[in-house]
Amino acid sequence: MSPTLAVALEGAAKIAFVWGVVLGAVLPNLIWVERRMAGLIQDRPGPNRVGPFGLFQAIADILKMFMKEDVVPMYADRLLHTLAPLILLVPAMTTFAVIPFGSTIRLFGRDIPLVIADVNIGILYVFALTSVGIYGLVLAGWASNNKYALLGGLRSSAQVISYELAMGIAAISVFLAAGSLRLTKVVEYQASGTFLGFLPLWNCFPQALGCVIFVVSAFAETNRLPFDLPEAEAELVAGYHTEYSAFRFGMFFMAEYLNLIAASAMMATLYFGGWSLPLLHLTGLLGGLVSVAVFAAKTGFFIFLFVWVRWTLPRFRFDQLMNLGWKVFLPLSLLNLIWTGVLVLAKVI
Amino acid sequence: MGTPLAFLPILLMMMGAVGVGLLLLGLNALIGRKVRTKRKLSPYESGMPLLDDSHKRISVKFFIVAMIFILFDVEAAFLYPWAVVFRQGGWPVFLEMLVFVFILLLGFAYLWKKGAFEWD
């Protein structure tokens, strides 16, 4: 078998696994969890009619979206109106390629690293794709030819680029410590020792400031409350997807949740040791499976955090949002970078 | 593994994602209902008839934010290779980057004083 074919087959198998888990299991259940949690927090039952505990609610919603009419408003730019949700969905679905979801697993006499593509640019790929997603938002707002949609698209692009800066500089400290842009190397570095002798070498301990900046910026990047200003319904109806219906709207919805899952996976990978667990050094098939479970648990915790915050905090005003991003997070992320540099030079990490 | 070969799964994944997107749109077009009326196709404007064109002039603030973002993002791009070789470089590399960050902060202070981050 030629090496190209082998890589392609192995990649296809891993893509099938990741999409199977994310699109088939996590995404529908996440919609259910979010609505049930909202019910719990707001002291009401939440969806409980479709299937046991309302578990099939997401499937019913997806089927319903297929049956609905795909309306393109008469003054809209038809091509861009169709293209915008695709531009948003494709990056959201492909971000997962570089995130290592486990150590290595030995199957059919080969060691298979549990990451779809272990490329040398790692994090740059993730940031590049999130930037491409912004075009989807802007084009959706522009192509709809609707005032609310246009304002929503503009707002979200301003918001996402503002926070991407702080997020990017906070992430630089992580690579400074690990010495590589590869996410697999970042995880291996965090699994390699201890911090101050008793804490795991997870980046969240030496770079607590950077970790907070990254997590809060991720909320802004994914347009979630308390930063969901692009679709502040009291002012902008539904923001950039005001004029979208049926599955085109569904694709915006899917992309938002996929971005949430990817952001949670990134937090777990960059700051909380990825698939590694301190004091646990299993090898072989069991080790591989345990590492996947550990990664899933960490990612699941951050997904839970996203949902929890959404139903607990009120929404910021737009000027407060921009102030926080530019005047607070940008200088603090540079401070975090210098702090990490000093720690590395002082041989603390 | 050769570098171009490492990107092959990403290419596959992108093609797959485009395929999924087109499939969803196609299925929707196939089984979704189609009853077009003039009212339904007119742009949403809080229930009012459409008053004027929606592509109006927009606040220059958005343009300024985009400009500043490009500037700072290019600066941040310079920091990536620096961060990767940091452990080999030691103190001299660190001090050089302090100078760089200081110049960056000067520009930042100028923008702040000029009111580029104000949203009134």
Question: Does any domain span residue B98?
Answer: yes
Q: Do B9 and A15 lie within an 8 Å CB cutoff? A: yes
Where is average pLDDT lowest: A28-37, A230-239, A240-249, B25-34? A230-239
Q: At what angle do helices A330-345 and A147-178 cross, to 10 degrees?
A: 10
Q: Any idea what the CATH number is for the domain that residue B102 is in? A: 1.20.58.1610
Question: Does any domain span residue B12?
Answer: no
Q: Model confidence at A190, in pLDDT bands (50, 70, 90)? A: confident
* CB-closest option in B28, B29, B84 to A175: B84
* CB-closest option in B44, B65, B72 to A158: B65
pLDDT higher than threshold 90 for residue A181: no
Q: What is the pLDDT of residue B1?
A: 46
Residues in A closer than 8 angstroms to B71, CB to CB, are none
Reported ipTM: the value is: 0.85
Question: Does any domain span residue B118?
Answer: yes
Round to whole Å and give the CA distance between B43 and A43.
Answer: 37
Q: What is the pLDDT of residue B19?
A: 93
Q: What is the pLDDT of residue B66?
A: 86
CA distances from A3 to A6, A120, A296 (A): 5, 19, 30
Residues in B closer than 8 angstroms to A327, CB to CB, are 112, 117
Q: Model confidence at A262, in pLDDT bands (50, 70, 90)? A: very high
Which whole number is the average pLDDT over A35-62? 86
Number of domains in chain B: 1
CA distances from A229 to A136, A233, A314, A321, A345 (A): 17, 8, 11, 9, 41
For B64, the domain range is 58-120
Question: Does any domain span residue B49?
Answer: no
The helix/strand/coil state of A191 is: coil
Q: What is the pLDDT of residue A143?
A: 85
Round to whole Å and give the CA distance between A114 and A132.
Answer: 26
Question: Does any domain span residue B91?
Answer: yes
Round to whole Å and give the CA distance between A112 and A110.
Answer: 6
Question: Does any domain span residue B73?
Answer: yes
Tokens of A273: 């040791």
pLDDT higher than threshold 90 for residue A212: yes
Inter-chain contacts counted by CB atoms under 8 A, chains A and B: 212
Minimum Cα–Cα distance from B74: chain A residue = A165
Output the average pLDDT for chain A: 85
CA distances from A239 to A30, A68, A92, A234, A315 (A): 23, 20, 19, 10, 15
Residues in B closer than 8 angstroms to A243, CB to CB, are 43-44
Amino acid code (one letter) for A239 = G
Question: Does any domain span residue B104?
Answer: yes
Amino acid code (one letter) for B12 = L
Q: Best of A63, A68, A74, A259 to disrupt the B interface by mutation (most B CBs within 10 Å)? A: A74
Q: What is the pLDDT of residue A233?
A: 66
Q: Do B33 and A93 lie within an 8 Å CB cutoff? A: no
Q: Do A145 and B44 lie within an 8 Å CB cutoff? A: no
pLDDT in tens, A293-343: 999 999 999 999 998 988 888 888 888 888 888 889 989 999 999 999 888
Question: Does any domain span residue B33?
Answer: no
Percent of chain A with pLDDT over 70: 98
pLDDT in tens, A82-127: 889 999 999 999 998 889 888 877 777 777 788 888 888 888 888 8
Q: Which of A244, A286, A254 is nearest to A81 (CA)?
A: A244
Round to whole Å and give the CA distance between A154 and A19.
Answer: 31
- Cβ density class A233-252: b for 16+ within 10 Å, e for less: eeebbbbbbbbbbbbbbbbb
Q: Do A337 and B35 lie within an 8 Å CB cutoff? A: no
Minimum Cα–Cα distance from A86: chain B residue = B21
Element spanning A271, H or E? helix A246-271
What is the block-wise mean pLDDT of chain B (120 residues), using blocks of 10 residues?
A: 75 90 88 79 73 74 85 85 84 88 89 82
Round to whole Å and give the CA distance between A126 and A99.
Answer: 9
Q: Do B31 and A66 lie within an 8 Å CB cutoff? A: yes
Sign of CA dihedral A231, A260, B66, A209: positive
| Nearby residues of B27 by Cβ (< 8 Å), 6 or more positions away | A66, A247
A332 burial level (CB within 10 Å; 0-12, 13-18, 19+):
middle
Do A47 and A53 contact (CB within 8 A), yes or no? no
Where is average pLDDT lowest: A34-43, A207-216, A221-230, B66-75? A221-230
